Amino acid sequence: MLSIVFRKLRSWGRVMRGNQLMASLFILFVLMLFFTMTSSRFLTWDNMQNVTRSTSSVVIVGSAVTLVMIARGLDLSVGSLLAASGVLAASIASHGTNLWLSYLAAIALGALFGALNGTLVVGFKVTPIIATLGTLNIARGMAYLVTPSAILVGLPSNWSDLGTGSFFQIPYPVIIAVVIALFFGWLLGRTVFGRHVYAIGGNEETARLSGVNIRKVIFLLYLMSGLATGIAAVVLTSRLGSGDPNIGVGFEFQVIVAVILGGTSLAGGEGRIAGTIVGALIVGFLGNGLNLIGVEPFWQYVAQGVALIAAVILDRFTRRERSEASVRREVNSKDNFDKTEDPKSIGNSASHQGEIS
């Protein structure tokens, strides 16, 4: 009986080691279990609403940035763009314009900056880190130019409805985040475009030789990242109830941390939207749980740093496990081939390799 339990545990451990998403989910589960045991306020509906509402902006932007990072890109401009789009929407709304028009303006500005990033990276061959660092400064400057009196208040009374309202107890920001994550999940996992993104991240030259329109795909990725940031800006500014050009400082790092925690490889070619959602929730629940159990702020920095490092180590560990498993499978299939030299087994072997890659 005991040996069966051990065997089950061992095989479960192997699954965990070979699957980054499972590992991230495991970390999330352990975190939630720990905070549930240490704070009676943690596992409550109100707190779940609180955390998911808070992490919705990271999920919205993170979903788009996941694709960018899978394709070996990087978008550092999202934090400043969040501020610029947010204050633009607030500024337009404060003049009594229809709220939806102000939302559209914010999303359009996001798309404009996304297109600018795409043009710089694709058209002018500027490295993503430099291009988006430049637009980061432009967007922040624009945010301050839109609001010369620093913070915009006196917005219409229904301004906060989107950010604070809910549908059947599910906050609107969460619904928006889920819809956007589902869209990007579908785009990445179920379309040719998604396969092209993985191909570019895996090996750009091979992708080019295979006929992938790399310039078009990368441009669209930055465009979508800007669009998603525009949407997140509307959600966040609505939650805050004001237009503040200082928001979003360090937001790009929150997004990148969530994407990495979710298993997207820094080297590109690997990653999933589900992982990014789990990564965002890990960061959200960690900060929230530490506050609920009253951990001092300085220790919270330490805990968050440890979580990030642990996740990256886990990433390396699971990656090595996967590549070892892949080699083992290749060797096995080669052995089978040598033994049988049966055309059927060649077909099986090839299809198996295709599955792995």
Partner 1 sequence: MIKEKLLPHRSYGTAALSILAASSVLVTMLTPISAHAASNASALAASSYSSKICTPKDPAAVAKIPGSVAGFTGYVSAPGNWLALPKTSPLTGKRIALTVMGLGQPFFLAVANHWKDLAKKYKFTLKIYDGKFDAGTVQQNVDNIIADKPDAIAFAPLDSDASVPQIQKFLAAKIPVVTYNVQPRKVLTPRVFANDFLGSRSTGCNAGAYFNAKFPGVAAKIGIVDLPNLPQVADRKNGFLYGFLSQVPGAVVVQSVNGGGVIDKALPAASDLLQAHPEVNVIFGINDDSSLGTVAALKAIGKYNADWGVLAAVDGSGPGMADMGDVNSPYKAESGYPPGDFAFAAFNLLGATVQKKTTKSTQIALGYPPINPSPAGISAWLKAQYPTK
**Number of CB atoms found within 10 A of residue 37's CB:** 11
Which CB, 35 or 219, lies closer to partner 1?
Answer: 35
> Which of 165, 143, 141, 173 is CA-nearest to residue 57?
173
Q: How far apart are CA 300 and CA 279, in angstroms?
A: 17
Residue 291 within binding range of partner 1, rule CB under 8 A: yes
310 near 31, Cβ under 8 Å? Answer: no
Cβ-Cβ contacts under 8 Å for 124 (sequence gap 6 or more): 131
SS3 of residue 302 by DSSP = helix
Overall size of the chain counted in residues: 357
Looking only at the bridges linking them, the beta strands covering 170-171 and 166-167 are antiparallel
Q: Please identify which residue in 50, 97, 333, 348 interacts with partner 1, judged by CB under 8 A.
A: 50
Minimum Å gap between C-beta 41 and partner 1 is 6
Residue 239 within binding range of partner 1, rule CB under 8 A: yes
Amino acid at 71: A
Residue 157 within binding range of partner 1, rule CB under 8 A: no
Residue 354 within binding range of partner 1, rule CB under 8 A: no
Q: Per CB under 8 A, which region of 119-127, 148-156, 177-185, 187-195 contacts partner 1?
A: 148-156
Residue 300 within binding range of partner 1, rule CB under 8 A: yes
Minimum Å gap between C-beta 177 and partner 1 is 15
Minimum Å gap between C-beta 159 and partner 1 is 11
Q: How far apart are CA 275 and CA 258, in angstroms?
A: 8
Amino acid at 134: G
Minimum Å gap between C-beta 236 and partner 1 is 7
Q: How far apart are CA 64 and CA 158, in angstroms?
A: 28
Q: Please identify which residue in 119, 133, 193, 241 interacts with partner 1, judged by CB under 8 A.
A: 241
Q: Per CB under 8 A, which region of 88-96, 100-108, 185-193, 244-252 contacts partner 1?
A: 244-252
Q: Per CB under 8 A, which region of 63-71, 149-157, 184-192, 349-357 contacts partner 1?
A: 149-157
Q: Please identify which residue in 2, 168, 205, 297 interacts with partner 1, judged by CB under 8 A.
A: 297
SS3 of residue 171 by DSSP = strand
**Number of CB atoms found within 10 A of residue 97's CB:** 14
Residue 298 within binding range of partner 1, rule CB under 8 A: yes
Which CB, 300 or 333, lies closer to partner 1?
Answer: 300
Residue 252 within binding range of partner 1, rule CB under 8 A: no
- Strands, DSSP E only, in the chain? 166-167, 170-171
Residue 39 within binding range of partner 1, rule CB under 8 A: yes
* Binding to partner 1 in span 164-193, by CB under 8 A: 164
Residue 304 within binding range of partner 1, rule CB under 8 A: no
Which CB, 69 or 290, lies closer to partner 1?
Answer: 290
Residue 272 within binding range of partner 1, rule CB under 8 A: no
Residue 53 within binding range of partner 1, rule CB under 8 A: yes
Q: How many residues bind partner 1 (CB under 8 A)?
A: 41
The pair of three-digit structure tokens given for residue 4, joined into one six-digit string: 């069966």
Kindly compute the dihedral angle of the four CA atoms of residues 302, 308, 314, 320, in this order, to the nearest 10 degrees: -130
Residue 292 within binding range of partner 1, rule CB under 8 A: yes
Cβ-Cβ contacts under 8 Å for 322 (sequence gap 6 or more): 18
Q: How far apart are CA 91 and CA 84, in angstroms?
A: 10
Residue 56 within binding range of partner 1, rule CB under 8 A: no
Q: How far apart are CA 87 and CA 148, in angstroms?
A: 11
Which CB, 185 or 284, lies closer to partner 1?
Answer: 284
Binding site for partner 1 (CB under 8 A): 39, 41, 44, 46-47, 50, 53-54, 144, 148-154, 160, 163-164, 236, 239-242, 244-249, 251, 287-288, 291-294, 296-298, 300
